[in-house]
Amino acid sequence: MEFGEILEQFEKRRSRNSSEATVGIYSRQIRDWRRWLADCRNKDLWKAETMDLRVRIESMSDAGKAPSTITKQVSAVSKFYQDCKKMAERFDMPDVPNNPYEGLDSEDKRLLRGDTKKKEAMEDSEGDEYPYLEPEKISRLVENVPSPRLRNELIIKLLYNCGFRRGELAKAKIEHIDREDRSIYIPPRKSPDWRNVAYDEDYLGFQLDQWLDYGGRDSMTYAEESEYLFPTNSGEHISGVAMNRMVRKAAKSAGLQEVIDEYVDGRKMHKVTAHTLRHSFAMQSINSGIDIKTLQTLLGHEELDTTLIYLDQAKDEAKENSRAFQPTG
C-alpha cells in the first residue's frame, strides 16, 4: 500500500469514533509528521523511533508552540502507529515500527502538560524568554543545597558547567566521564547526535573525585549494582523529577526562588529549576564570547534557531544595560 492508501484506511478507522473535523486534524498531523521526518531526520514513517518524537516535541516547544498543539501531533502519531499495527494484519504494508510514543518518559511528557507556559510567564515578569542565573547566584545556590550536600553540589555544578538537560544527567554513566581528558560524553536523547562537553577541573573536580573515589557514591544503596553516576537509595539512578525538586529547594533556601505563575491544575510554576542552570550555561557561554555554532553543538540543539534565542536575549540585555551610560564632558 502507498502512503495515500494507508492514510485513507487510517481515516476510516478513526471516523468510527471521531468527528469528521477530528479525523481531519489527525490526517493533517500525520502529513506534517511525515514531512518533518523526511526534511529534518531523513527518514520515512516506517523508520521512526522514540528519539525522533522526542526531538519533534522539543523543537515544537522551543519554537513556542502551545502545549495543546504539541499534544495534537503526539496524539495523532500515537494513534497512527497503533492503527497501522492492526491494519498490517489485513493489508500489504511496510514493516510497522514500535509506537514512538511508548518510549517517552516523564521528562518528555511534562512538555505535553503545559510547561511551555513558563516562557510566557517569564516574558511577563522580566522580559527574559529563558530565565538564567548569574555566576554569583549559582554560587549561592551551591551553598544552599539540601542533604546529601556532596551529591547535590556536584549535580548543580554539572548542570551549570556542562549544560546538561536534567534527564541527560540523571542517565549519565560513570563510563561517560573521562577524567584524564576532563570531558563528559552525552549520549543522544533529545538531539540526533551525541556530544562531548569539557568540564572545569578547578570548578567541580574536587566534588567529582570525592563522589567517585572517597565514598560519596558508595554510600548509596544501589551504588554497587548501578552503572550510573548518581545511584540512589531507592534505584539505579536519580530521577529528573528528584533533581528538579532539589534545585527548587536550594533556590528557595538561597532566596532566589519565586513563583511566577500557576498551572491550571494548581501546580506552582517556579522561576529557578534544573533547566534554569542549562540556560545559565548558555548565557554565560554567550557572554564569554563563544561562537553560536559551537554553542549549538554543546547544547545538542538540532536547530540553530533554538540556540539563536540566547544570542538575541544577550543583545537585548546589552542594549538595556547601555541605557545606564551617561556621557560626560
* Cell digits of residue 160: 551549570
121-320: CATH number: 1.10.443.10
Under the banding of pLDDT at 50, 70 and 90, the label for residue 262 is: low
Domain ranges of the chain: 3-113, 121-320
Helix 304-322 vs helix 292-299: crossing angle, to nearest 10:
120
Q: Which three cell numbers stand for residue 48?
A: 521512526
Paired with 183 in beta bridges are: 178, 198
pTM over 0.75: no
Q: How are strands ordered across the β-sheet holding 177-178?
A: 177-178, 183-186, 195-198
- Cβ-contact 194, 329 below 8 angstroms: no
Q: Which CATH superfamily is domain 3-113 in?
A: Tyrosine recombinase, N-terminal domain (1.10.150.130)
| CA 187/CA 171 separation, integer angstroms | 9
Overall average pLDDT of the 158-176 stretch: 93
Q: Which residues pair with 186 in a beta bridge?
A: 195
pLDDT at 110: 64
pLDDT tens track for 192-212: 568 899 999 999 999 999 999
Whole-angstrom distance, CA of residue 96 vs CA of residue 45: 9
What are 45-102's pLDDT values in tens digits? 999 999 899 888 877 876 667 777 888 899 999 999 999 999 999 999 999 999 999 9
- Phi, psi for 185 (deg, rounded to 5): -85, 130
Contact 204, 154 (CB under 8 A): yes
- Contacts of 157 by beta carbon, 8 Å cutoff, 6+ apart: 142, 203, 204, 207
> In which band, very low, low, confident or very high, does the pLDDT at 116 lie, cut at 50, 70 and 90?
very low
